[in-house]
Amino acid sequence: MIELLRDEPLTFLLVAGILLFSLVLHELGHAVSALWSGDPTARLMGRITLNPLKHLDPWGTLLLLFAGFGWARPVPIDPRNFRNYRVGLFVVSIAGIVVNLGIALLCVLLLRGLDSLGLAATYGTLTDAVLYAAAINITLAVFNLLPVPPLDGSKIVQSVLPLRWHPFIWRLEANPNYAIIMLLLFLTVLRAPVGQLIRWVQSEFFKLTLG
């Protein structure tokens, strides 16, 4: 993304706009699915909104734009309110990932539409921006699927784990020292293997959808 900012600033601005909206929709997906599952916590805290100021985390947004991965402000939930604890935990956790995959698919449909109309070259900047946006939404989906607390993937796994393990996971996620350690690991030791996984998924996604 840094190279994109330097070489194609207009494309960078388009990508940044799409990605910020993607982060907002990701968190909104969590908030709405939590309400559907019986938990009004997110609604009571004003998180069922498209207002980016309610959802975006400054550091997470900057990392997403310049390092290729990042995060938004987590949606507060109280699983005790779920009508079905395990189902609610699974649905709320996977909702943001489904939103990112949906955005990536919409980007692909737009790319295919531009190509079929012979406009892909004419609107090259838009085409490049949509392609980047699709790739980074895949990045967000894959990254959040990692079964590492506090990522969504850990809660998806948690939804099928024995209940006696859950309090430990919640305490781990609430520990600020753990969050710092995991951030440092993702920026160093885990950066290469996670990057390889993401690039592979992106490649397979584009082969499947764009041919």
Q: 3-state SS string over the chain?
A: CHHHHHHCHHHHHHHHHHHHHHHHHHHHHHHHHHHHCCCCHHHHCCCCCCCHHHHECHHHHHHHHHHCCCCECCCCCCHHHCCCHHHHHHHHHHHHHHHHHHHHHHHHHHHHHHHHCCCCCCCHHHHHHHHHHHHHHHHHHHHHHCCCCCCHHHHHHHCCCCHHHHHHHHHHHHCHHHHHHHHHHHHCCCHHHHHHHHHHHHHHHHHHHHC
Catalytic residue among 8, 27, 173, 204: 27
Catalytic residue check, 27? yes
Angle at 103 between CA 40 and CA 186, to 5 degrees: 80
Positions annotated as catalytic residues are 27
